């Protein structure tokens, strides 16, 4: 059973608000111009998009921008700021904050154009939301998206689905969503137990996804679109879901937030980020998913991996390594 007691969930109401991007102090680096002013290490090539193939499927990763989170003792529950800075430095990132990128993965599957999550949007994190302009640079537009596959309901993944007044921006597309995630966030009897800092998010989900008619709920281990199968990776949220893609013998895994910043949590899978609603379940999912992609040699995409946010995972002692695509 997923434990959602106030004692277990995040750290406090204030920390929860900051964790979900609904409150708190952050430095925002929204574009390649900001990158040129300060290279955080996440997108040194200033990529707006990155294309590759999985069998016959054309994959395009779109950069939605990045932020730098000020160091907070609560950001990782069981690692000090000094330990985090060492891990960031080892990964080639800045160390005076935690750079966090947002990379949306899209796929052209036959006559369908599928997008996994929808970025921050104009109503989300200030000065982010570069998805639409970078999508156009990649050669297609939001109106071309036929399916939006939601991995979970954190703001940086769903606020791009709606404008600031909650009107749908992808009303023409089918929104595919894990049933466990939908059922949690749209159930007021469950979300009423969340800290005050997260109540706004829950109410926004209920006012939008909870009422839209173009939402299709899917169960774990289900082919949600031809060639795309849901894989439960619960813990980060009650219904957090990854997606396994195959085309012929080629495979790919959209991990979403199985980890946050890879330089911290891929190398140290036992570290517990404040965003994980059940850190122990999240860690178990993380290890299981990484062991699977290593054993089966499946390339992956991580939502917070920078650009390119795709590559291969390897095992290295108690942790894992990541090799980005060239």
What is the pTM for the complete model shown? Answer: 0.90
Give, in order, the Cα–Cα distances in Å from 214 to each of 146, 173, 259, 292. Answer: 11, 7, 29, 33
Q: Residue 76: CB partners within 8 Å, gap ≥ 6?
A: 83, 84, 264, 271, 272, 273, 274
Burial of 297 (0-12, 13-18, 19+ CB in 10 A): exposed
- CA contacts within 13 A on the Cβ side of 95: 12
Give, in order, the Cα–Cα distances in Å from 305 to each of 68, 101, 120, 219, 260. Answer: 14, 6, 16, 26, 8
**pLDDT > 90? residue 191:** yes
Condensed to tens digits (0 to 9), the pLDDT of residues 257-276 reads 999 999 999 999 999 999 99
- Which tops the pLDDT comparison, 108 or 197? 108
The answer to whether the CB of 252 falls within 8 A of the CB of 301 is yes
Condensed to tens digits (0 to 9), the pLDDT of residues 22-58 reads 444 334 344 443 444 468 999 988 999 999 999 999 9
Report the pLDDT value the prediction gives residue 125, as an integer from 0 to 100: 52
| Beta-ladder partners of 237 | none
Condensed to tens digits (0 to 9), the pLDDT of residues 65-101 reads 999 999 999 999 999 999 999 999 999 999 999 999 9
**pLDDT > 60? residue 143:** yes
Tell me the DSSP string of 2-18. ----TTTSSS-HHHHHH
- Structural domains of the chain, with CATH: 13-324 (3.60.15.10)
Condensed to tens digits (0 to 9), the pLDDT of residues 202-258 reads 999 999 999 999 999 999 999 999 999 999 999 999 999 999 999 999 999 999 999
């Amino acid at each position: 059973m997923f434990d959602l007691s106030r004692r277990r969930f995040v750290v406090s109401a204030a920390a929860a608000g900051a964790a979900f991007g609904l409150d708190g102090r952050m430095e925002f680096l929204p574009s390649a111009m900001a990158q040129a002013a300060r290279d955080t290490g996440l997108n040194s090539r200033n990529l707006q998009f990155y294309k590759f193939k999985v069998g016959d499927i054309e994959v395009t990763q779109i950069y939605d921008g990045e932020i730098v989170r000020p160091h907070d003792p609560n950001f990782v529950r069981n690692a000090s700021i000094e330990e985090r800075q060492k891990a960031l430095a080892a990964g080639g990132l800045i160390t005076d904050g935690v750079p966090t990128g947002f990379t949306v993965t899209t796929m052209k599957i036959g006559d369908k154009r599928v997008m996994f999550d929808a970025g921050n949007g104009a109503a989300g994190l200030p000065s982010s939301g570069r998805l639409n302009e970078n999508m156009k640079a990649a050669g297609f537009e939001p109106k071309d998206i036929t399916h939006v596959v939601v991995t979970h309901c954190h703001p940086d993944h769903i606020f791009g689905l709606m404008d600031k007044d909650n009107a749908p921006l992808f009303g023409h597309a089918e929104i595919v969503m894990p049933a466990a995630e939908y059922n949690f966030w749209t159930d007021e009897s469950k979300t009423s137990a969340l800290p005050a800092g997260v109540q706004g998010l829950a109410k926004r989900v209920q006012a939008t996804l909870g009422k839209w008619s173009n939402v299709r709920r899917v169960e774990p281990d289900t082919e949600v679109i031809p060639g795309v199968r849901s894989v439960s990776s619960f813990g980060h949220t009650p219904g957090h879901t990854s997606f396994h893609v195959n085309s012929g013998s080629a495979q790919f895994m959209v991990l979403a937030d199985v980890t946050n910043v890879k330089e911290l949590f891929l190398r140290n899978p036992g570290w517990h980020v404040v965003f994980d609603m059940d850190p122990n379940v999240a860690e178990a999912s993380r290890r299981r998913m990484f062991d699977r992609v290593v054993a089966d040699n499946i390339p992956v995409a991580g939502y917070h991996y920078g650009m390119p946010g795709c590559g291969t995972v390897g095992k290295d002692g108690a942790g894992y390594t990541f090799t980005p695509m060239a």
